Amino acid sequence: NSSLYYATPIDLYQIHWPSGAFNSEIVPIAETMDALNHLKEQGKIRAIGVSNFSRSQLEEAAQYGRIDSLQPPYSLFWRQVEKDAMPYCVENNISILAYSPLAQGLLTGKFGPNHKFDPKDNRKDNKLFQGENFTRAQQALEKLRPIAQQHQCSLAQLALAWLIAQPQTQAIAGARYPEQAQDNAKAADVQLSEAELQQIDAIGRTVTDHLDDNPVMWSW
């Protein structure tokens, strides 16, 4: 029944990439926001979000309506959002919905130094899985293991616990099986002290300090 369908609004409707990304058609943000505001006024959506926007793009969109969330790539090993959009999000009470919070599985520790990806797997193009970045990530994981052991949690749970302790931040953690979803949810029970958060932060920076400011995580 279509009337029932439209009676239930979409909780969050997001612009997935800024207009013009990857040679897409350029549409003025004012035009896009006008359409989204209209959907909100009609009660078809409850909130407007953006994804993969820089601070300047976020500020421009916010000129035309309330932005409730930013969805950036964000993890212990990928932290460009901290230098760009996060302060604006904190100031304006915009939720940060971190995607790839486990750096496409790298932070689980299950990919060893000699791992080879299927040619169709986009992780083969992930900068963190390449060259010295991957070597540094392996070294950082070894330093994280004892902290995870102290908390009797997995590396993935430790990385998620650190992430959701950051300002305004929630994690979108993928799962292929129910058990993975349950394990990810247990990260909320991992209580890290301020000293541990700083220690984990420092370990993560041994990877991120060597990355450039390009917010795209893949070599496309």
- Condensed to tens digits (0 to 9), the pLDDT of residues 135-149 reads 999 999 999 999 999
- pLDDT at position 31 over 70: yes
pLDDT digits (tens, 9 = 90+) for 162-193: 999 999 999 999 888 899 899 999 999 999 99
Token pair 């994981």 in the structure block, residue: 141
| pLDDT tier at 107, thresholds 50, 70, 90 | very high
Measure the N-to-C terminal CA separation of the chain; round to a whole number of Å: 43
The percentage of the chain sitting over the pLDDT mark of 70, rounded to a whole number, equals 97
| Per-residue pLDDT at 119 exceeds 90 | no
Per-residue pLDDT, averaged over 28-49, amounts to 97
Spatial neighbors of 213 by CB under 8 A, at least 6 apart, are: 80, 83
Given a contact cutoff of 8 angstroms between Cβ atoms, the answer to whether 69 and 94 are in contact is: yes
Q: Transcribe the chain into DSSP letters.
A: -HHHHHHS-EEEEEE-S-TTGGGPPP--HHHHHHHHHHHHHTTSEEEEEEES--HHHHHHHHTTS---EEE-B-BTTB-HHHHTTHHHHHHTT-EEEEESTTTTTGGGT---TT----TT-GGGGBGGGSHHHHHHHHHHHHHHHHHHHHTT--HHHHHHHHHHTSTTEEEE---SSHHHHHHHHGGGG----HHHHHHHHHHHHHHHTTS-S----B--
pTM: 0.91
Residue 55 has pLDDT above 90, yes or no: yes
pLDDT at res. 112 = 82
Distance CA 72, CA 98 (A): 5
Residue with tokens 């959009």: 85
Instruction: Identify the CA nearest to 145 among candidates 117, 107, 105.
Output: 107
Residue 66's pLDDT band (cuts 50, 70, 90): very high
Is pLDDT of 1 > 50? Answer: no
Distance CA 103, CA 40 (A): 33
